[in-house]
Amino acid sequence: GEDVEQSLFLSVREGDSSVINCTYTDSSSTYLYWYKQEPGAGLQLLTYIFSNMDMKQDQRLTVLLNKKDKHLSLRIADTQTGDSAIYFCAESIRDGQNFVFGPGTRLSVLP
Amino acid sequence: DSGVTQTPKHLITATGQRVTLRCSPRSGDLSVYWYQQSLDQGLQFLIQYYNGEERAKGNILERFSAQQFPDLHSELNLSSLELGDSALYFCASSPGYGNTIYFGEGSWLTVV
């Protein structure tokens, strides 16, 4: 069945780069997404990538997609304390009819 | 601000009761999704509507029901509430198939 997996926790020091990894199962996914959830808030769309792309860069964020391995990663450069949040990976499935979310990776940024 | 509005933001109710959560999608969005987020289950997809019709069903309990009205707002009805139903309930919307979904701020439900 459809499944998205992520590691649950990541700690980095302020100023370092963070890399959050995700694996998904639906090879027909059209889009893959990263969402950010801050405490007590909803899920905020950070970025997304089309399945025919390998990389997308948006300021401090870099998304890498390895379609062969069904692996997606989000790199945050110069991580700040404000980046502390839960990051969800998601894929669109069944030709975009629905979305499957991973369990979320809790990023802690240490001073 | 995503443009998706959910009410109420917080709700405390007793076991056995029934509540209704309301969602107004972004202007022009036809699809509405409901998700439940609890500490032990993560983000669980409940149900999706597209232009008033049910399109997909996830892990939604029989005690729960939803509908999407002609003006495209949606309601999630939770009945015979149990302690384990305490969670954050999210509504999300999208223009249609294959588009990005945008989340509301959620409705915190506490069952005591």
Q: Please tell me which of the candidates A35, A42, A96 has its beta carbon nearest to residue B98.
A: A96
CB atoms within 10 A of CB A43: 29
Kindly list the residues from chain B whose CB atom is less than 8 angstroms away from the CB atom of residue A33: 100
- Tell me which DSSP letter residue B83 carries: G
- Tell me which DSSP letter residue A27 carries: T
Q: Closest by alpha carbon to A105, among A3, A1, A7, A4?
A: A7
Pairing of strands B31-38, B87-94: antiparallel
CA A79, CA B22: separation in Å to the nearest integer? 36
Summarize the confidence of residues A12-38 as an average pLDDT.
91
Check CB contact under 8 Å for B105 and A41: yes
Write the burial class of residue B76 (CB in 10 Å: 0-12 exposed, 13-18 middle, 19+ buried): buried
Our measurement of the distance from residue B59's CA atom to the centroid of its chain's CA atoms, rounded to an integer in Å, reads 12
Closest-CA distance, B85 to chain A, in angstroms, reads: 18
pLDDT digits (tens, 9 = 90+) for A55-92: 999 999 999 999 999 999 999 999 999 999 999 999 88
Q: Which amino acid belongs to residue B34?
A: W
pLDDT class for B35, splitting at 50, 70, 90? very high
pLDDT at B74 > cutoff 80: yes
Contact B2, B24 (CB under 8 A): no
Q: What is the pLDDT of residue A51?
A: 86
Q: Please tell me which of the candidates A35, A45, A95 has its beta carbon nearest to residue B98.
A: A95
Q: Under DSSP, is residue A83 helix (H, G, I), strand (E, B) or coil?
A: helix
